Amino acid sequence: MTERGASSVARGADHLAVGDSLVRWNGDRMIIDIEEKAIWLGVPYHPPVRGRVVIEPELWSGQRFALDPAGRHMWRSIAPRARVRVEMEQPGVSWSGSGYLDANSGSEALEEGFADWQWSRAHLGREAAVLYEGVRRDGSTFASALRFDAQGRASEEALPLGAPLPATRWLMGRRTRADRGHARVVRTFEDSPFYARSAVASRLFGQEVVAMHESLSLDRFRSPIVQWMLPYKMPRRA
């Protein structure tokens, strides 16, 4: 919720601390302890957010994929399937359900390498599917349809047909892929000038699914207007 300086960040082989919040591995579980205060000009302006998220992978995958020919950007689906438990003290809410864990890494900022991308993940019985495509900064494109089996092994599938989706309230373009080239937005969870996260229903690899979907416009993200707006959404500490 608040950007941090180098002195407020610490990391090791099995943990990452950002301010008072901590991400750590405990055996095969990832535990995220959240302790956040929204501060503007040194003054709290929102009740603190406090709680814990526990991620228990059901499938593991060690495969890493390069998103550009030079290998400056790598992506790994660490847990194509997982169980997630959320236990919040402030606000006092909790729930559990199915989830996913992945990671991006690279030697340059995302906006230097990409103009946009579209990503989605769906459960297929005991398996999982991930669709990933986008436009690189040089104008070239990439696209893949990966299917993870019950042992976490990924195989590349033929790309399903392109399926358009309605733009968001911020007029963010969204698109995905589906067996019949048709998909619908069930619910939009996050809608910002440069990012949207939604639940999308479609038929994929012969199964009816509801996928988690995200659209990211890095052209919008790096625009001066959005960069000017960001501190009002996520205050920056001195």
pLDDT in tens, 78-123: 999 999 999 999 999 999 999 999 999 999 999 999 999 999 999 9
pLDDT at 65: 94
* Measured distance CA(183)–CA(185) in Å, rounded: 7
Q: Where are the domains of the chain?
A: 6-233
CB within 8 A of 194, min separation 6: which ones? 172, 216, 217, 218, 220, 221, 226
pLDDT < 50 stretches in the chain? none
Q: pTM of the prediction? A: 0.87
Strands (E), 91-140: 94-106, 114-124, 127-136
Residue 5 confidence (pLDDT): 82
pLDDT tens-place string over residues 178-195: 999 999 999 999 999 999
pLDDT for the residue numbered 62:
86
pLDDT (0 to 100) of residue 137: 96
- Tell me, what's the pLDDT at 95? 97
Per-residue pLDDT, 38: 67
